[in-house]
Amino acid sequence: MIQIKTKQTGKKYWRSLDQLAQTPAFMEWLHREFPSSAEEVIDGASRRNVLKLMAASFGLAGLTACRRPVEHILPNVKGVEDYIPGKPYFYATAMVHNGVAQGLLAEVNDGRPTKIEGNPEHPFSLGAANVFQQAAILGLYDPDRARSPRQDGKDVDWKVLDDALKTLSGSLGQGDGLRFLSESVTSPSFAAVQAAALAKFPKAKWIQYDAISQDEVRAGSQLAFGQQLVVRPRFDKAKVILALDSDFLGLDADTVLSVKEFSRGRKVAAETDEMSRLYVVESRFSTTGATADHRIKMRASEIKAFVSDLAAALKVGGNELKVVGQGDKKSKWIEAVAKDLGANRGKGLVVAGPRQPAAVHAMVHLINQALGNAGETVTYYKSTLEQTRPQLEAIAELAGELSKGQVSTLVILGGNPAYSAPVDLDLAANIKKVATSIYVGLDVDETAVACKWSIAEAHFLESWGDALAPDGTATIQQPMIAPLYYGRTQAEIVAALTGYKDQRPYDIVRNYWTAKFAKGDADKLWRHALHDGVIPNTTFAEVKPVVDAKKVNGAIQPAAQSASGMELVFTPNWATWDGRFANNGWLQEIPEPMSKITWDNAALVSPATAKQLGLSTHGWMVKGYKATDTEGHSDPTQAGNFVDMIQIEVDGRTLEAPVFVQPGQADGSITLALGYGRTECGHVAKGAGVNAYKLRTSKAPWIVADAKVSKIAKQYQIVQTQEHGTMEDRPLLRESTLAEYRKEPNVIKEMLEVPELVGLYGDWDYSKGNQWGMTIDLNACVGCNACTIACQAENNIPIVGKDQVNRGREMHWIRMDRYFVGDEEEPQAVMSPVPCMQCETAPCENVCPVAATTHSPEGLNDMAYNRCVGTRYCSNNCPYKVRRFNFLAWNYGTPEVEMMKFNPDVTVRMRGVMEKCTYCVQRIQETKIQAKLEGHRPIKDGEIQTACQQTCPADAIVFGNINDPNSGVSKLKKQKRNYGMLEELNTKPRTTYLAKLRNTNEELEAKHG
Amino acid sequence: MADLAVRNDPHVRPRLVEGDPSLHQVTEAVSSIIETRTPYSWWIAIAITASIAGVLKLCLGWLVYNGIGVWGNNQPIAWAWDITNFVFWIGIGHAGTLISAILFLFRQKWRTSINRFAEAMTLFAVACAGIFPLFHTGRPWRAYWLFPVPNTDLYMWPNFRSPLVWDVFAVSTYATVSALFWYVGLVPDLATIRDRAKTKGRKIAYGVLSLGWRGSARHWRNYEMAYLVLAGISTPLVLSVHSVVSFDFAASLLPGWHTTIFPPYFVAGAIFSGFAMVVTLMVVARWVFKVEHLVTMKHLENMNKIMLATGTVVGYAYASEFFIAWYSGNPYEKFTFLNRAFGPYWWAYTLMVSCNVISPQFFWFKKLRTSIPFMFVISLVVNVGMWFERFVIIGTSLHRDFMPSAWGYYHPTIIDMLTFFGTFGLFLTLFLLFLRFLPMIAVSEVKGMMATQKMHDAHLEAVAQAVEH
Amino acid sequence: MALIFPKTIDQYVRIGGALVAVMALGGIGAYVYFSHPLVADTGYSPVQPVPYSHKLHAGTLGIDCYYCHNTVFKAAHAAIPATETCMNCHVRVKPQSARLEKVRNSYATGEPIPWIQIHKLPDYVYFNHSAHINAGVSCVSCHGRIDQMMEVKQVKPLNMGFCLDCHRNPAPNLRPVEFVTKLGWQPDRDPEEMGREIIAAKHINPPTNCSGCHR
Amino acid sequence: MHTNTPELRDKTIYGVVAEFDQPSKLVAAGRVVHHEHGYTKLDAISPFPVHGIDDAIGVPRSILGYIIFCCGSIGFISVASLIYWAGGISYKLVIGGKPLFAWEPSIPPIFEGTILFSAFAAVFGMFAINKLPQFYHPVFNYERFGVATDDRYLLVVEASDPKFDIVDTQRLLESLGAKHTEVVEA
């Protein structure tokens, strides 16, 4: 039913756009507006001039005010049951990320999915979504997606493919020489197809490989428990948390739940409230480290020693190792943490990052068990989809077979292994040796090029499927729109190849589940499953395993440290993850939370290491107007962001990479993000970053103990959205410690002394009706950028490209500020989103000569784009610098298909006008009208959610009516932590902040922040 | 003999017209400039300047076609060269009205030889200035919304609280009034040219332009009244214009902009730069057109004195800004000014101070004050310095304001540079046309001045003879 | 000195000046008239692909607007009816009529009928039918007497001023909701007064700030 | 031998023009002709305003000042009311929490408006009073009129003057040191 609906309307829209594009009116307009038609609307450097100019309906509609081209209305031919044109519908679905599924809701406007939200019903979303999920919309409409099957690099008709598959499946026999290479299978129905395939072809093999694999985690649990278990930490229950090289609030979080739960433990309403404490030990300065109450930097390879010392300090198991060769600071640290954990038995929690070796994970399990945390703050599940075989081992074997020519048919299902597999396996070359190689993928990527056949895959928003959350909760993945390019799902292809009983993806999924449901009301249950986005009672069985302390203690014996060489650590990244999102402009342009770099990756090194390597150092701690700090670090603004480049060598293989000096980075350790430097990719990804996979071998997939590094005579311009790292002692983002706050709750307000602020005229009366306001809780915010992307999707915010970001023209309405605090040795960071403050006495309004920005009776700082003439005076006079100007025609370049992403409730701004956050006024208006229709009822608190608030995994952003004393936002504004940024200017901001509190341990407090 | 006595008498001002020419000779000297055959040099000069003006046209076309993005402006530096150039040109446009209005009210006779020239310069400078407020908007075709145009469609009006709207009023008024003032002054001289005209074409052209002026006593009566009033209202006008321009900054809340000293400071700066430009052009013109006896060293020296005075006022303003920044105890202010002087734009600031405050100090010395080449160089230096003053005020205040997270830096594009360069083409083209077709010196006023001087002399001679006996 | 201009010149100059002045005024007057929304924005009446007569259906036959434009009470958009809606009747009524050919084809082939849009607001204006209809603003206020039009024609300027007039003083355009689609309906008493009562009853307070319509 | 008959005067002759080479002589002559001989229809033409000529030949005071004042006041009122109406009546928009109308921000536009109106009044008022443009005037018929915009000074006695007599008037003027006199026709 739904599929039919979306198909129909989807196609309708599609068709109408085509027609519009051919109308003489449009053609005439196109030529009138762009005499040079297609090429060069924007200056050469922009990434957009390569996309051809097809600004169809939006630009056209914008002009109908003055000219009147004939415009057609194309109604449905057959009425669609309870479907109202122009009204958005929400459907539940799920997105698989990092091997697990998270439930989502997709907003569909006239058959076009336009916005992703978290599914409140889903236990691992609770209404929130992360950057990758938010940006999926743009991925769906990516004009560079594979559009048809390709045979030997040439597009062919689907018919040709189907015939080829038929003949091939006939010729497979017992399936010797038949190999399947997929990513981790997370879909039960697909697993069924897989099982059927392997049953039909007993000689065939199925290899699962993820570039960002959980091998070590699995091995760890195998080592500790003798079985593979899913570990489920419960950060909301823990009072003391120790994260060992684990960015569980950032890149190592598989769903948003970890942030949700953690932030619950950090919310402080009254001064008396309890608050969890977070210790972080890590090599890279992650957002988790920035959130930590105490953090020390440490080379990733020393964590193993650290954890065994910690175990020793905790007297865990038989391990009686003495703390040796440890700096005084570190041992103090260990003692303090051990004491704290010991004091909080059953309320503590230790977690380790997936990069750490199995032994570390095992020891973590041991510690958690010894401290009685197991079962309390961490629970274990037995997965139904477990992978007994280490992925690296499996793919290595496959590579061997390939090179020996033992494989006749290779079916690769997504994942782009030719790009992301360990470099020493040389997969790209080996694939070419196979007689029949088939690739199913979204893009024409490195693997697609290597294979004989490549098949356009259906995007998850286009296809039927299902997937499991970390705890096994199953979700049906339903399509929001018919496949734009008739793409196929992986299951569909395998089913076709292996003659599975069901061929259509819909049948594959539905029949699998209805078979599981109780016979009678299978249909009803199925409908419920679709509606809720959750299938009840599908969670894995919880188990209470026992750790084999002996084995663990045996494994943990630290090998001789090779502290000599430079350590190289690989991580996924915030923009492209493992490279799969490389062509997604929203993600490419989102700044990396700590370094604020966009459109690139860089080798992160500590200032000390940089000096040691003789590299020019950008001092992100440089203070004041000076060009350099005492250390001689130059201020990046003045260095023009040109950085040195180094050559990194890992057993014979070399890579040239730009260096970025990151305070808080462990000395002697380089962090390099995977997923950049794509070669076979779309326009957006071209030239973005360097390919770290070139150094990643199956021997050392995460941590290279001794990489050779040398400076080379090259420079590279990296681009950031924020170039100055320090707050200049200005009380912008305020923080204190929990202890101090309890002693003197007014400490936050007292950070600023202002004389009584009086205006020249009386204040305007905002005491009646709805008065919108917002609070942002710095204590909860982990700087994950989800709000920025959500805003970008909701408000049709354009992408500007690396060159334009470099010119300081990024368009994000809600930007993420990051300031370093504390000493340069062990810096801390505070982060916060900065949207428009909706000042009651808005400085921007006074100076606008044409009254394009004015105040609404409900306290909004309205911005009428169609009135703006673009003097930019408002931006100059905005102390928060949150206004964004369309310096060039960002939207004229948008290809037709990409325009389907636009939110119809928000104007697509033209060149030359100013724009800014409006508290999602379109949502406010919709709700107000709805309330009117329902008999002028008052609007309920929380009924209106801004896009940023809705998606925030930390619930840091709260929006509502400040006139209603019982609304969430008014309650928060009553807190002592509440303050207005730059309130001394008497701008009366409606958006206020709740100061950050660090729950410090006084034992460590004395030593350092 | 007696003549000598008079000349050496310290109480007697040196003559404003040298060589004691007859009125007819004055008429000749000025009129002949535009009556003789057009020299090739003029054609060459205008060919060059016109093509530079063409560059301006191209740049503006490219700008309107693509958007402000072709300039270097960004967030946070949303205003950069555009408004800098605007203030720069407007400032230059101040000397003219000042000379014709204020010096007139102060009965400064020496103004007569240079006021026409300076007024023309004013007009052309304002024309160049006017380009930028219009084209710095993102949608210039909507710029008319800044004017209070009655509209039946939107029911919308400009926001009269905005200094930009004040600008619109001030600058348009200033342009109009200056043009009127200039034309009124021209009418009698146009009549003179008319009556000297040989060819029919010139007769008709100047005949029409001079509106049939015939120098009747009744005309002169009203004429002088009108001129007096124009001078009277132009004086507050000229002061208000640059005050209003300074409000663009003073009325904002940006540290480094939000300063009460701005209006006087800007006016002084404007006069400063205006006179510098007059000197630059005058030194060349009087030499080229052989009117040294009408535009004498006395004139130039007086202008240099004014430059010295205003330059020092500007220097005082710079100093007091710093003092207030420190004295106010406002950390943002304090930072902004330290950042101005020692931050990334230290070079611009240093340039500004040395050009505007230090260089004019040489004019304390009469020798330098009266040296043509020296004053020419200084006047150029001052023009450079004043451009940088505006850039420093705009650029350095914007690039690092309240939130360090939003700090930035500004790099001009080639379009930025060519646009500014092009405005000089426009300015000089208009100027060459003026020199070619209109009397560059207010003949009738000079004559009037000479006549009174003659009476004065006659009187002195009498005195001198009395003494001899 | 030989005269430049003849004796008579000045009277010609005066006449010429007078003419120029008159023409200037005339020009301004013409501009104001032709650019006035009432003139510029009204009267658009394109030929529709199907010669559908609102006069016949809505007027003579008295079909309620809501029968075809069935989303006005629920949604921002007033839906253009699906071909199916036409066929509901026309399978029986005039099933063979030549003028209905396009409709039948559309129904058969699934190709929509390309109706031409007449009442068009700029895309930066967000008008919501349900909000207005439910408040008691009749269709007639913006669309005129559609029920008397053979071919639909834009009769109201629909410019910003037009919207503002009503948003500032909605009373004259309000009526009980049950009559909003009765285009010819006249209240039995002073409409102003009735309007004020409705405003009081429904707390109607139309926005006049920018974000009321522009987002 | 002309005789001073009205017909003749009205039809053909505008008056007598006398040319002087010194402003002082012009003034002196004017004073004699006006004050001693009681001629009233006089005009003086000079390349620049000659001081004292006004009382010498009895030119009335200029009324321009009053005109300018009135127009200036109109400018003041109209701009002030425009601002008040636009912000306070026509479209009440809340801007920066400021009142709908306040004097402080309105001063600059009002001031400029006043100036603009006054300037227009001064210039066009002056032209109007002087009846300019006027491309034909009898004095242009004076043979050597060109000198009047160069370095000579003309005293004109109009034929419409009751005391006018071609012969006597011409003689009188010559006796006052006119370098040249001439009868110009209307």
- C6 reaches D (C-beta below 8 A): yes
Residue A198: band (very low, low, confident or very high) from pLDDT cuts 50, 70, 90:
very high
pLDDT single digits (tens) D139-175? 999 988 988 999 999 999 999 999 998 889 999 999 9
Residue A50: band (very low, low, confident or very high) from pLDDT cuts 50, 70, 90:
very low
Residue D5, in any domain of the structure: no
Q: Do A851 and D93 touch (CB under 8 A)?
A: yes
Whether residue C179 sits in one domain with residue C122: yes
Whether residue C170 sits in one domain with residue C202: yes
Residue of C nearest to B156 (CA): C161
Q: Which two tokens stand for residue D129?
A: 């009073």
Residue of A nearest to C81 (CA): A75
Domain that holds residue C175: 54-80+115-212
pLDDT single digits (tens) C34-76? 888 888 888 889 999 999 999 999 999 999 998 999 889 989 9
At A619 the pLDDT is: 65
Q: For residue A752, is pLDDT > 70?
A: yes
Q: Which two tokens stand for residue A56?
A: 């169809």
Chain B residue numbers with beta carbons less than 8 Å from the beta carbon of D20 are: none
Nearest Cα neighbor of A334 from A821, A1009, A1003, A1006 is A1003
Residue C156, in any domain of the structure: yes
Residue D41, in any domain of the structure: yes
pLDDT single digits (tens) A54-107? 333 333 333 333 446 788 888 888 877 778 888 899 999 999 998 899 999 999
Whether residue D117 sits in one domain with residue D26: no
Chain D residue numbers with beta carbons less than 8 Å from the beta carbon of B236 are: 111, 115
Q: Do C1 and B204 touch (CB under 8 A)?
A: no
Residue A26: band (very low, low, confident or very high) from pLDDT cuts 50, 70, 90:
very low
Last residue of a domain, one of D91, D108, D129: D129
Residue D3, in any domain of the structure: no
Residue A810: band (very low, low, confident or very high) from pLDDT cuts 50, 70, 90:
very high
Q: For residue A1007, is pLDDT > 70?
A: no
Q: Which two tokens stand for residue A583?
A: 């062509």
- Distances from the Cα of A860 to the Cαs of A787, A839, A870, C212, in angstroms? 20, 8, 20, 11
At A561 the pLDDT is: 57
Chain A residue numbers with beta carbons less than 8 Å from the beta carbon of D94 are: 764, 854-857
Residue A327: band (very low, low, confident or very high) from pLDDT cuts 50, 70, 90:
low
CB atoms within 10 A of CB C95: 11
Q: For residue B5, is pLDDT > 60?
A: no
Q: Do B214 and D23 touch (CB under 8 A)?
A: no
Q: For residue A51, is pLDDT > 80?
A: no
Residue C2, in any domain of the structure: no
- Residue by residue, DSSP assigns B36-103 as SPPPHHHHHHHHHHHHHHHHHHHHHHHHHHH-GGGSS--SS--SSHHHHHHHHHHHHTHHHHIIIIIH
Q: Do B152 and C1 touch (CB under 8 A)?
A: no
- Distance (Å, whole) CA A197 – CA A190: 10
Intra-chain end-to-end CA distance of chain B, in Å:
14
At A55 the pLDDT is: 31
Q: Which two tokens stand for residue A376?
A: 């309390």
Average pLDDT over residues C96-112: 91
Cα-to-chain-centroid distance, residue C18: 42
Residue A4: band (very low, low, confident or very high) from pLDDT cuts 50, 70, 90:
very low
Whether residue D101 sits in one domain with residue D56: no
Q: What is the mean pLDDT of chain B?
A: 90
Whether residue D69 sits in one domain with residue D51: no
Cα-to-chain-centroid distance, residue A177: 38
Q: Which two tokens stand for residue B337?
A: 């000014």
Q: For residue A152, is pLDDT > 70?
A: yes
At B469 the pLDDT is: 65
Residues 6+ apart with CB under 8 A from A372: A345, A346
Q: Which two tokens stand for residue B401?
A: 């304001």
Report the alpha-carbon angle D18-D19-D24, nearest 5.
Answer: 110
Chain B residue numbers with beta carbons less than 8 Å from the beta carbon of D151 are: 22-24, 27, 447
Average pLDDT over residues A412-437: 94
Whether residue C177 sits in one domain with residue C197: yes
Q: Which two tokens stand for residue A889?
A: 């025609």
Q: For residue B14, is pLDDT > 60?
A: no
Residue A636: band (very low, low, confident or very high) from pLDDT cuts 50, 70, 90:
low
Chains touching chain B at 3 or more Cβ pairs under 8 angstroms? A, C, D
- Distance (Å, whole) CA A19 – CA A351: 57
Nearest Cα neighbor of D72 from D121, D124, D126 is D121
CB atoms within 10 A of CB B123: 21
Chain B: nearest CA to A278, how far in angstroms? 26
Residue A638: band (very low, low, confident or very high) from pLDDT cuts 50, 70, 90:
low
DSSP-derived letter for residue A405 is T
Whether residue D170 sits in one domain with residue D148: yes
Q: Do D112 and B247 touch (CB under 8 A)?
A: no
Residues 6+ apart with CB under 8 A from C36: B152
Chain B: nearest CA to A741, how far in angstroms? 25
Residues 6+ apart with CB under 8 A from A137: A113, A114, A115, A116, A461, A793, A901
Closest in B155, B156, B207 to C4, CB measured: B207
Q: For residue B389, is pLDDT > 90?
A: yes
Q: What percent of chain B has a predicted confidence (pLDDT) above 70?
A: 96
Closest in C44, C112, C126 to A75, CB measured: C112
In this structure, the dihedral spanned by the alpha carbons of residues D91, D92, D97 and D103, taken in order and rounded to 10 degrees, is: 80
Q: What percent of chain C has a predicted confidence (pLDDT) above 70?
A: 99
Domains and CATH numbers, chain A: 230-382 (3.40.228.10), 566-720 (2.40.40.20)
Whether residue D163 sits in one domain with residue D149: yes
At A633 the pLDDT is: 67
Closest in D91, D135, D143 to C13, CB measured: D135
Whether residue D125 sits in one domain with residue D71: yes
Residue D83, in any domain of the structure: yes
- Are the C-beta atoms of A306 and A352 separated by less than 8 Å? no
Residue of B nearest to D121 (CA): B226
Chain D residue numbers with beta carbons less than 8 Å from the beta carbon of C3 are: 136, 140-141
Q: For residue D2, is pLDDT > 50?
A: no
Q: What percent of chain A has a predicted confidence (pLDDT) above 90?
A: 72
- Distance (Å, whole) CA A906 – CA A904: 6
Chain C residue numbers with beta carbons less than 8 Å from the beta carbon of B155 are: 160-161, 164
Last residue of a domain, one of D107, D129, D151: D129
At B185 the pLDDT is: 93
At D49 the pLDDT is: 92
Domain that holds residue D98: 64-129
Residue D171, in any domain of the structure: yes
Q: Do C84 and A867 touch (CB under 8 A)?
A: no
At A560 the pLDDT is: 54
Residue D12: band (very low, low, confident or very high) from pLDDT cuts 50, 70, 90:
confident
At D10 the pLDDT is: 53
In this structure, the dihedral spanned by the alpha carbons of residues C184, C189, C195 and C198, taken in order and rounded to 10 degrees, is: -100
Closest in C46, C84, C131 to A79, CB measured: C84
At C162 the pLDDT is: 93
At A639 the pLDDT is: 63
At A703 the pLDDT is: 94
Residue C135, in any domain of the structure: yes
Tell me: cis bond preceding B14? Omega within 30 of 0 counts. Answer: no
Residue D151, in any domain of the structure: yes
Closest in B152, B195, B207 to C37, CB measured: B152
At A975 the pLDDT is: 93
Q: How many domains are there within chain D?
A: 2
Q: Do C36 and B155 touch (CB under 8 A)?
A: no
At D11 the pLDDT is: 58
Q: Do D136 and C209 touch (CB under 8 A)?
A: no
Q: For residue C147, is pLDDT > 60?
A: yes
Residues 6+ apart with CB under 8 A from A897: A141, A143, A484
Higher-pLDDT residue of A10 and A278 is A278
Least confident of A12-26, A203-217, B167-181, B256-270: A12-26
Q: For residue B202, is pLDDT > 60?
A: yes
Residue C90, in any domain of the structure: yes
Closest in B152, B154, B156 to C36, CB measured: B152
Residue A854 region by backbone torsions, left for phi larger than 0, else alpha for psi between -120 and 50, else beta: beta
Q: Do C74 and A19 touch (CB under 8 A)?
A: no
Phi and psi dihedrals of A113, rounded to 5?
-60, 125
Whether residue C97 sits in one domain with residue C191: no
Chain A residue numbers with beta carbons less than 8 Å from the beta carbon of C107 are: 77
Whether residue D162 sits in one domain with residue D150: yes
- B182 reaches D (C-beta below 8 A): no
Q: Do D104 and A760 touch (CB under 8 A)?
A: yes
Last residue of a domain, one of D84, D100, D129: D129
Q: Looking at this protein, which amino acid is placed at residue A309?
A: D
Q: Do C159 and B154 touch (CB under 8 A)?
A: yes
Residue D38, in any domain of the structure: yes
Where would I find the H helices in A856-993?
A: 873-876, 921-933, 947-951, 968-974
Chains touching chain C at 3 or more Cβ pairs under 8 angstroms? A, B, D
Residue of C nearest to B200 (CA): C4
Residue C61, in any domain of the structure: yes
Residue A558: band (very low, low, confident or very high) from pLDDT cuts 50, 70, 90:
low
Half-sphere exposure of B430 (CA within 13 A, CB side): 16
Q: Which two tokens stand for residue D183?
A: 């009868």
Q: For residue A37, is pLDDT > 70?
A: no
At A803 the pLDDT is: 92
Residue C186, in any domain of the structure: yes
At A892 the pLDDT is: 86
Residue A557 region by backbone torsions, left for phi larger than 0, else alpha for psi between -120 and 50, else beta: beta
Q: Which two tokens stand for residue C119?
A: 């009442």
Whether residue D56 sits in one domain with residue D39: yes
Whether residue C148 sits in one domain with residue C88: no
Q: Which helix (H) or strand (E) holds A14?
A: helix A2-22
Helix B81-92 / helix B262-288 crossing angle, nearest 10 deg: 60
- B239 reaches D (C-beta below 8 A): no
Phi and psi dihedrals of A725, rounded to 5?
-90, -20
Chain A: nearest CA to C25, how far in angstroms? 25
pLDDT single digits (tens) D63-98? 999 999 999 999 999 999 999 999 999 999 999 999
Whether residue C166 sits in one domain with residue C93: no
At A977 the pLDDT is: 93
Whether residue C168 sits in one domain with residue C94: no
- B22 reaches D (C-beta below 8 A): yes
Q: Looking at this protein, which amino acid is placed at residue A771?
A: Q
Whether residue C208 sits in one domain with residue C142: yes
Chains touching chain A at 3 or more Cβ pairs under 8 angstroms? B, C, D
For testing contact with chain A, the best of B59, B252, B405, B409 (most A CBs within 10 A): B405
Assign residue D36 the CATH number of its domain. Answer: 3.30.70
Q: Do C161 and B153 touch (CB under 8 A)?
A: yes
Chain A residue numbers with beta carbons less than 8 Å from the beta carbon of B72 are: 807
Residue A111: band (very low, low, confident or very high) from pLDDT cuts 50, 70, 90:
confident
Q: Do C1 and D143 touch (CB under 8 A)?
A: yes
- B398 reaches A (C-beta below 8 A): yes
- Distance (Å, whole) CA D34 – CA B285: 46
Whether residue C122 sits in one domain with residue C19: no
- Residue by residue, DSSP assigns A188-213 as HHHHHHHHHHHHHSTT-EEEE--SS-
Chain D: nearest CA to A839, how far in angstroms? 8
pTM here is 0.91
- Distance (Å, whole) CA A842 – CA A861: 7
- A570 three-class SS: strand
Q: How many domains are there within chain C?
A: 3
Whether residue C148 sits in one domain with residue C193: yes
Average pLDDT over residues B30-49: 93
Residue A798: band (very low, low, confident or very high) from pLDDT cuts 50, 70, 90:
very high
Q: Which two tokens stand for residue B300?
A: 């130039």
Q: What is the mean pLDDT of chain A?
A: 87
Whether residue D116 sits in one domain with residue D68: yes
Closest in C6, C13, C208 to D133, CB measured: C13
Chain D: nearest CA to B112, how far in angstroms? 13
Chain C and chain D share a number of CB contacts under 8 A equal to: 29
Chain A and chain C share a number of CB contacts under 8 A equal to: 134
Least confident of A309-313, A361-365, A808-812: A309-313
Whether residue D176 sits in one domain with residue D156: yes
Q: Do A921 and C211 touch (CB under 8 A)?
A: yes
Residues 6+ apart with CB under 8 A from B27: B192, B196, B443, B447, D47, D150, D151
Q: Which two tokens stand for residue A676?
A: 């950049």
Helix B217-250 / helix D103-129 crossing angle, nearest 10 deg: 160
- Distance (Å, whole) CA A714 – CA A502: 57
Whether residue D166 sits in one domain with residue D154: yes
- Distance (Å, whole) CA D155 – CA D17: 6
Average pLDDT over residues A603-622: 84
Whether residue D101 sits in one domain with residue D86: yes
Residue C152, in any domain of the structure: yes
Nearest Cα neighbor of A727 from A664, A637, A820 is A820
- Distance (Å, whole) CA A520 – CA A608: 69
At A279 the pLDDT is: 96
Phi and psi dihedrals of A865, rounded to 5?
-60, -35
- Residue by residue, DSSP assigns D43-108 as EEE-SSPPTTHHHHHTPPPP-HHHHHHHHHHHHHHHHHHHHHIIIIII---BBTTB-SS-HHHHHH
Q: What share of chain A is helix, strand, coil (3-state, %, to 5)?
A: 30, 20, 50
- Distance (Å, whole) CA A903 – CA A556: 54
**Residue reference for tokens 């925030």:** A952
At A133 the pLDDT is: 95
At A53 the pLDDT is: 30
Strands A991-994 and A772-777, sheet pairing? parallel
Whether residue C58 sits in one domain with residue C138: yes
Q: For residue A274, is pLDDT > 60?
A: yes
Whether residue C204 sits in one domain with residue C135: yes
- Are the C-beta atoms of B264 and B86 separated by less than 8 Å? no
Q: For residue B418, is pLDDT > 80?
A: yes
C96 exposure class (CB count in 10 Å sphere: 0-12, 13-18, 19+): exposed
